Amino acid sequence: MSDQPEQPTLTDGEVTLRPWRDDDVDEAVAGHDEVIAHWFGWPADGVTAERMQRAIRDWRTGYADDRAVIAFAIEVDGTLAGSVDVRRREAGVGELSWALYSGRRGRGVATRAVRLLADWSLTDAGQGGLGYSRVEAKVEPGNEASLRVATRAGLRREGVRRVEPGTGDRAETTSYVVLARLAGDPPLSEPTAFRALLNSFLPRKRAISQLLVRDDAGRVLLCQLTYKRDWDLPGGVVEVGESPRLAAAREIHEELALDLEAGDLVLTDWLPPWGGWDDAVCLVFDGGTHDPALVDTMVLQTREIRSAEFVTLEQVRERCADFTARRIETAIGNAQAGLSSYVESGSSPTTA
């Protein structure tokens, strides 16, 4: 006999989460389709009445076993719409999973169900909840519908966890998006919570800041890098929360020990994915014109920089990748004319 409290019924007025009943079996079997089978890694005809009966027994056992697994039937207008459960993974942490049956999707039911279960799981035990400090979900990146459900239910995207093929839910699974809510997160109704939620999953594009530094003869300062064969302008990746202009000055100080200010923005260059790198936006700032003896004061950061020197445009074309040479030539032209422009891979979008 279990000493656990009776499994509750949860509702928001439209969606109800209730314990599974033996007479749910036929309706549940009928609701499973190829979509559910695909994402759970089951055969298309893998859910039978016998398997569903066994699942209900296992869920009851999991509840009796210190509520290690708590599964609910999702009910809408008195009919079965799907399932949702939370499994304790470690002390204070539960993992959410859900499935909505054929003909029930696209109406916000899954979002309401996941939110209901997450709210109850994070509610203090003294107030009738599970008292978890964290609930999380793992969703394959290609499962866009479930990603939307998790996000709309208030789970923030935290990152991507890679897995070896054959060790996930499906043989071909290679990664999961991890999303979570904490007990201390502000209520979803508050603007700060909504902004934090959006910030967790909106695209973040890498930004690179570079300095265009020239000498009195019109040559441009280039760096020979340790992590690629081609030469490039001094600069690097903008840190989170950092001004791109300050990043350009910081990078040239770290790489070459030069204290130069970043002037006007002379070029914005979008770089498509290349050589294992994701796409990025490269911002080139004017680093001014200096005496050629500037190179004598440099102290190279040898972890990233092999050498650095002022070179002619002809040498730029010889030493740089084609798109880098185009970027530098355009940046020089803009700096000389007091202009700023946008290009893609070093060329105007109309001619790229």
Across the range 61-79, mean pLDDT stands at 95
Minimal CA–CA distance to 346: which of 323, 312, 322?
A: 323
- Residue 82's H or E segment, with its range, is strand 79-90
Residues 6+ apart with CB under 8 A from 329: 313, 316, 346
* pLDDT at residue number 295: 94
In 173-212, alpha helices (H): 191-201
**127: buried, middle or exposed (CB in 10 Å: 19+, 13-18, 0-12)?**
exposed
* pLDDT tens-place string over residues 335-348: 999 999 999 998 87
Rounded to the nearest integer, the mean pLDDT of the chain is 93
* pLDDT tens-place string over residues 239-282: 989 999 999 999 999 999 999 999 999 999 999 987 777 899 99
* pLDDT at residue number 55: 95
Q: Is the pLDDT of residue 145 over 60?
A: yes
Structure tokens given for 218? 């019109």
Cα separation, 36 vs 44, whole angstroms? 8
Q: What's the pTM?
A: 0.77
* pLDDT tens-place string over residues 276-316: 778 999 999 999 999 999 999 999 999 889 999 999 999 99
Give residue 2's pLDDT band: very low, low, confident or very high (50, 70, 90).
low
* pLDDT at residue number 352: 43
* pLDDT at residue number 193: 85
Residues 6+ apart with CB under 8 A from 62: 68, 69, 70, 71, 87
The answer to whether the CB of 287 falls within 8 A of the CB of 252 is yes
CA 55 to centroid of chain Cα atoms: 33
